[in-house]
Amino acid sequence: MNIIGFALCLDDDDEGSFAPNKLYPILEPLDNDPRDYLRLVDESGEDYLYPKIYFEIVQLNQPAQKKLIGYFESVAA
């Protein structure tokens, strides 16, 4: 899992894949991923593509980002 950042969910998708007001890890995009989508780890623990319009990319300071990456990597193991 190569986490490159975090996105805050602004709205749900009516399928329960993600929850509003929650941070989700953004994974490095694959070569064929559309530009207007983010590859995120959703509530199922799997990575999928979601439209960027549902999210706001957030900038975290270095210590907070490292701590969150460590957390998400530990729960994915």
Name every residue whose Cβ is closer than 8 Å to that of residue 44 and which is 6 or more positions away in sequence. Answer: 17
On average, the pLDDT of the chain sits at: 89
Q: Which is nearest to 28 in space by CA: 5, 10, 56, 44?
A: 5
Q: At residue 28, does pLDDT exceed 70?
A: yes
Q: Band of the pLDDT at 58, cuts 50, 70, 90?
A: very high
The pTM (predicted TM-score) of the whole model is 0.85
Sequence ranges of the domains in the chain? 3-11+28-76
Going from the C-alpha of 38 to that of each of 15, 25, 47, 52, 63, the distances in angstroms are: 17, 10, 10, 6, 23
**Each residue of 34-50: pLDDT tens digit?**
999 999 988 788 899 99
Range 15-33 average pLDDT: 88
Report pLDDT for 77: 65
Instruction: Give residue 13's pLDDT band: very low, low, confident or very high (50, 70, 90).
Output: low
Report d(CA 25, CA 47) in Å as an integer: 9
Separation between Cα atoms, residue 65 and residue 63, nearest integer Å: 6
Rounded to an integer, what distance in angstroms lies between the CA atom of residue 53 and that of residue 72? 23
